[in-house]
Structure 1
Amino acid sequence: MFNLRWADEGGFPARDRGAAYGDGLFETIRMHGTRGVLLSRHLDRMVRDAGRLGIPVSLTELRKATTAAISHYSGRYASEQEDGAWVLKLTLTRGEGGRGYRPGPGVSPNLMVSAGPMPEAPTASGVAVDFSRVPLTVNSLLAGIKSLNRLEQVMAAREIEGDLFEVIMSDSAGNLVEGTRTNLLLKMSDGWVTPPVRSLAVAGVLRQWALERLRAKGELVLERDVSVEDALGAHCRGLFLLNSVIGVVPARSLAGQDLPVDDGLATIFNPLELLE
C-alpha cells in the first residue's frame, strides 16, 4: 500500500526520498474531462518501472488512486478549455525514511497527485529545434524509466529561448537520443528510424504507441542509433517530436537548417480517439 497525498493539501513530507534523492518516478497524463489519453499505458508503465526500482505498487491500487484524483481535479480544470483538456500528474516515491542513500526498514511508498492546465499547443506547421550542448548519459539499469532524476534535462531546457521549441540531446558518441521532454522519430526515404530504448532516459508511451501503429500499417520501423547526418542529410523526410501531452510535433528546422515538414504522422494521432 502507498500513502495517497494531494499536492493542494501539503504534498510530500520534508523527509521524502523523492525530494532528497530523486528516489521515485512520475507520469504526466493528458486528460479530457474524466478520461485520459493512453491512460492504461501510463499506469502500466508506472507499475512496471516501479518494480524495476524496487518500489512496491499494484495496478489495482494505482487505478483506484487515479480514479480518485480524476474525480478530485476534473471539475476544476476541465472547464478551462472547450475540449475539457487538462493535465494529471502522478508522482510515486519510495517514501520517507532511511539515513543516507540506503532506505530504512518498512519504508512505505508515497503517491502524490497533482493537476494543471494544458500547455499551449505548438504550431501545426512545425517548430524550430536545435542541438543541446548538454550530453545525456543513460545508465542501462535505468534506461527508459521516467524517474525523478532529470537534472540533465533541466540543464538542457535552460537553452530553450525565443522561438526555439526544443533542444535535442546526444549521447557520448554523438548520437541523437531525445529532446528534453520529447522522443524522436525520423521519417527516412526507406522507412522510419528512432533511437533504441537502451539509449533513452525516457521511453514515452506515445513513442511506443506510434511504433506499434506504424508497424500495423506495414511501415518499416527501425530502432537504432540516430546520427546528425540522419536528421540533416538528404534521406530525411521529416523529424517528429513525440510527447503524450502535446502530441506529435513536426520540426521545420534543426540548428537553423530547414527540414521537410510531413504531416503524415501527425494525422494518425488524434488524442480524442485514444481516451480511456
Structure 2
Amino acid sequence: MISHTQAFIPSPPQGVWQVGPVPIRAYALCIVAGIIVAVVVAQRRYRARGGNPEVVLDAALVAVPAGIVGGRLYHVATDYNQYFCSDCNPVDALKITNGGLGIWGAVLLGVLAVWVMMRMRGLPLAPLADAAAPGVILAQAIGRLGNWFNQELYGGPTSLPWGLEIYYRVDPNGSLAPLTGHSTGEVIDVVHPTFLYELLWNVAVFVFLVLVDRWRKLGRGRVFWLYVAGYTLGRFWIELMRSDHATLVFGLRINTITSSVLFVIALVMVYLLRGPRETPSEVNPTQSEVNKSIQN
C-alpha cells in the first residue's frame, strides 16, 4: 500500500451518489455546469458584438444534444476495442454517464447543427463562433473535473508533490467498481494528474482568447480557430503523458494525431481569414432587400 504522504492531491472517495433510485453523477454535473458557463459567456460576448443573446440560447439547445451524440460517436469510433470485442458488451457504447466523450466529435457535430440553424435564420455563423469559443474552452476546463471524480485520464506514476492518488473503489458487495464504487482508502498508485494539466491549460487559453480578441478586435471566425489551435497545442503534449488505454495509429495515440492535424489546419485558417470584425445581422441581405421593397 502506498503512503498518502507521497501525493498532494487526493482523488474523491466517490463519483456517484445515490439519492433514492436516482444516481447523481459528478461527471454529468460538471458537464452541465460547463454548459451553463459557456452559454453565459457566449451571450455576453455575442451581445457585445451587436447580436441578440437569445440566439446563443437557441444555438445551445441545438448544439448540446448534437455535441453529446458527436462526442460519443467519436469516442466509440476511436476506442472501439472497448465496446466491440469478444468479451465486450456493445450496449456499453450507449452508456455516456460512464464517461467517454470525444471533444472533436462534439465540436464537429455541434458546430454543424448550429450552422444549419443559423443558415435557416439567415444569420452568419462566424460572429457566433467567435463569441462562443472562449466559453467553450472554459466549459471544457470545468468538464475535466468530472474526470477527477471518475479517476480517469491520468498519466504515469510520479513522486511530484502534486501527484494524484488513485484509490481502490468497491461497490456495497465489495466488488471492484472504479466508476460507481466508494473508496476503500487504499491507494493503487500516485500518478500525473493530466486532467488537471489540461484544466489549467484550458483556462490559460480562455484568458488568451479574451485578451487577444479585445486587443485585435478579431472576427471572421479567427477567435474560433485560435481556440482550436490553442486547445490542440496543449492536448498534444498532454496526450503524450497519459497512460490510460487508447487506440494507437502508427504507434501514437489517435488523439495525438488528431491534435496535430487540427493544429495545422487551425493555423492556416487564422492566416487566411482576414478582414474587419463583422456585426451579427438578424436578417440576411436578401431578406433585408425584400423588406425594403415591401415598405416602398
* TM-score, L = length of structure 2: 0.27
* TM-score, L = length of structure 1: 0.28
Larger Rg: 2
Specify which structure has the higher proportion of strand. 1
